[in-house]
């Protein structure tokens, strides 16, 4: 009896046209669907109460104490659309940048999907590291 052929891990990420794909995390920000490359997100945690920083920009939610570490939390909806995030099903995406960690509040996290390596229309693919750079610099 012949064993079925198991594709290599590399071929599992190829589409019919041998076009490479990337894994993306799909989430909602201000009622719009966005995604980011999965490698940008270290961890996803539930929304936690933040301590507001006096004089901080409106897109900086404040600080959270996450397992003994202070983490700056940004509001993606405020950064992108100037409206506060919907906290009913919110999550915090933890992103590392330059040895520091920041959290980005999104309305809802949906799924991890494969996305062909083509341009995404309408700015749906976000660079979370750039958003963190904006806040931590």
The answer to the question of residue 100 being in a domain is yes
The answer to the question of residue 2 being in a domain is no
85 to 31, 127, 128: CA distances (angstroms): 9, 18, 16
**What long-range pairs does 83-86 form, CB within 8 A, spacing at least 24?**
83/30, 85/29, 85/30, 86/30, 86/31
pLDDT tens across 49-99, in order?
999 999 999 999 999 999 999 999 999 999 999 998 888 889 999 999 888
Of 137 and 54, the structure prediction assigns the larger pLDDT to 54
The answer to the question of residue 10 being in a domain is no
Sign of CA dihedral 115, 117, 121, 124: positive
pLDDT tens across 100-118, in order?
899 999 999 999 999 887 6
C-alpha closest to that of 97 among 39, 44, 26: 39
Distance CA(40)–CA(19), nearest Å, equals: 22
The answer to the question of residue 73 being in a domain is yes
CA angle, 121 then 91 then 23, to 5°: 45
The answer to the question of residue 5 being in a domain is no
The answer to the question of residue 35 being in a domain is no
Domain of residue 77: give its range. 40-107+124-136
Strand locations in the chain (E): 21-29, 32-37, 43-46, 60-66, 69-75, 91-97, 100-106, 108-116
CATH at residue 96 = 2.40.50.180
The answer to the question of residue 62 being in a domain is yes
The answer to the question of residue 103 being in a domain is yes
C-alpha closest to that of 42 among 66, 78, 12: 66
Structure tokens of 31?
């009622």
Instruction: Indicate if the pLDDT at residue 1 is higher than 60.
Output: no
Number of domains in the chain: 1
């Amino acid at each position: 009896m012949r064993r079925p052929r198991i594709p290599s891990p590399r071929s599992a990420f190829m589409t019919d046209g041998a076009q490479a794909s990337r894994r993306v995390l799909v989430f909602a920000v201000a009622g719009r669907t966005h995604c980011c490359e999965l490698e940008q997100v270290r961890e996803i945690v539930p929304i936690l109460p933040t301590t507001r920083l006096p004089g901080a920009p409106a897109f900086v939610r404040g600080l959270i104490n996450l397992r003994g570490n202070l983490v700056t939390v940004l509001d993606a909806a405020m950064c992108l659309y100037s409206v506060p995030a919907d906290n009913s099903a919110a999550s915090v995406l933890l992103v590392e940048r330059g040895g520091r960690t920041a959290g980005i509040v999104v309305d809802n996290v949906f799924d991890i999907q494969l996305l062909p390596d083509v341009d995404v229309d309408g700015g749906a693919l976000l660079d979370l590291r750039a958003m963190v750079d904006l806040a931590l610099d």
